[in-house]
Amino acid sequence: MNMKTLVGAFILLLIILSASQSQPIERKALYVTVYNNNLGVIRDIRNFNIKSGISEINMTDVAQLIDPTSVNIKFDGQVLEQNYRYDLVSLMKILEKYIDKSVSMVSEQGKTIEGTLLSINNSQIVLRTSSGGLLMIPDISKYQITVGSLPEGLITKPSLVWKINSKNAGNKEIELSYQTQGMSWHTEYVAVLDKTDTKIDLNSWVSIENNSGATYPEAVLKLVAGDVNIIQPQPFRGYIDYMEKNAATFESAPQLFEEKAFFEYHIYNLKNPTTINQNETKQISLFEAKNINVTKKYLYRSGSYYRYYSPDQTNKVAVVIEFENKEKNGLGIPFPKGKVRLNKSDGQSLEFIGEDMIDHTPKDEKIKLKVGDAFDIVAEEKEVDHQSISDKVQEYTYEVKIKNRKDENIEVEVERTLGRNWDILSSNISYEKKDSQTVIFKVKVDKNKEQTLNFKVRYAY
């Protein structure tokens, strides 16, 4: 009997035990709401055949990462007691329950060994044989092990067990709702820039990740976008073995979601029910938009906190794509936070040119994406003079040289952080005040030329 045979026999045992424990699920409706931050809310409506008086009902197929304190149950009767059982069947747990009990083992050569199990440690066990001697087996993977029955307290599926009191017997509807960890969703955007760098086509995908320990068949799916405040609970024993993605499902269709405002957030309703499998990442189209007007900018953030450096300390000039999330621009919809990937054709195929993250962005706001750093534009900055006018007044003169090695004219926005109590005494290029600490110089540079920005700042402390 090899290891594969042993594993197969154990899986068959689980299937038999599962079938003997579970009753058919009469589910009337299932609703799943997924949040951005490792949270799902499940609403499950089922029919149960309930006895009159005090009885016990068992609801299986709930999430293994359920928060039992969040459970809410509605039915025509009284809930006296609730238990969440998550001590699931496994080979080691069965053997641990059989300490001081009889087990039978069959070796790969077909030899049968029977005895009382004294200890189990990883793959090593100790048996007391009928003659009173001790048999120590260092590797149980070479044996098929059988026991009399499933030990009490072990189950094949996470379950909620209720002790209830009902005045009437019969088939009744029970509505269960609860929160679970292990569920989240995020958004990915794919943009294609046109050859003139003035328009993009944009499509958006929602990725739903389910590692909660349950499958939700034909569920009504809702996604909530926004930063919901959650007090993180301490991990409990049910939080095991369910944080690894094993599969991915892709669904593509335009406008599969309906969006609406909800409290201080936005909620997206999938128009048709969908099945969300355990250990699955499901991707569904959120929206598509074409011919969005964009502006390409070159940005150099000046000042010690905002410089872009390469390994040789050459200052970098960022390439930024901006567009307005407005209806007149083919948008005007809430953008959930997510990653935006930008592509552009080189004449033969689409090539990746950069990516950036955006936060939750409401309609009518501007979206800015840093695509990367310009290869053919270089910025050199230095302090050329410093004068101490008094103990409280200092004057600095700066020089920012922009080198344009491109075959086209450009404009670089030099964004300079000055701090507080400043006054620009002179500048060879006009500036605009962005806020109390920041100014912007728009430096025009002809193709294959250089342009130098000179300005003098006085600080009064």
Give me the pLDDT at residue 42, please.
Answer: 93
| Alpha helices (H) along 194-277 | none
Give me the pLDDT at residue 251, please.
Answer: 40
Give me the pLDDT at residue 149, please.
Answer: 79
Q: Quick one: how far is CA 173 from the chain centroid? A: 34
Give me the pLDDT at residue 231, please.
Answer: 53
Give me the pLDDT at residue 413, please.
Answer: 95
3-state secondary structure of 11: helix
Running along the chain, 461 residues long, what does each successive block of 10 average in pLDDT?
Answer: 44 42 67 88 91 87 86 87 72 80 86 86 84 85 81 68 88 90 92 94 92 92 73 44 35 48 63 89 89 95 52 72 94 89 89 92 91 93 92 93 95 92 95 93 96 95 83
Tokens for 123, please give them.
Answer: 């793959």
Give me the pLDDT at residue 227, please.
Answer: 60
Residue 272: burial class (beta carbons within 10 Å; 0-12, 13-18, 19+): exposed
Q: Are 304 and 330 in contact (CB under 8 A)?
A: no
Give me the pLDDT at residue 235, please.
Answer: 44
Amino acid at 334: P
What is the set of domains in the chain, with CATH numbers?
Answer: 91-146 (2.30.30.520), 295-312+365-460 (2.60.40)
Please state, in angstroms and rounded to a whole number, the distance separating the CA atoms of residues 139 and 124.
5
Tokens for 37, please give them.
Answer: 């931050």
Give me the pLDDT at residue 305, please.
Answer: 39
Please state, in angstroms and rounded to a whole number, the distance separating the CA atoms of residues 384 and 389.
16
Those residues whose C-beta lies under 8 Å from the C-beta of residue 15, and which sit 6 or more positions away, are: none
Cα distances from 445 to residues 133, 400, 432, in angstroms, run: 93, 12, 18
Please state, in angstroms and rounded to a whole number, the distance separating the CA atoms of residues 87 and 410.
66
Q: Are 62 and 214 in contact (CB under 8 A)?
A: yes
Closest CA to 448 of 400, 405, 411: 405
Please state, in angstroms and rounded to a whole number, the distance separating the CA atoms of residues 305 and 400.
16
Amino acid at 104: S
Q: Which residue has the tokens 């499509």?
A: 203
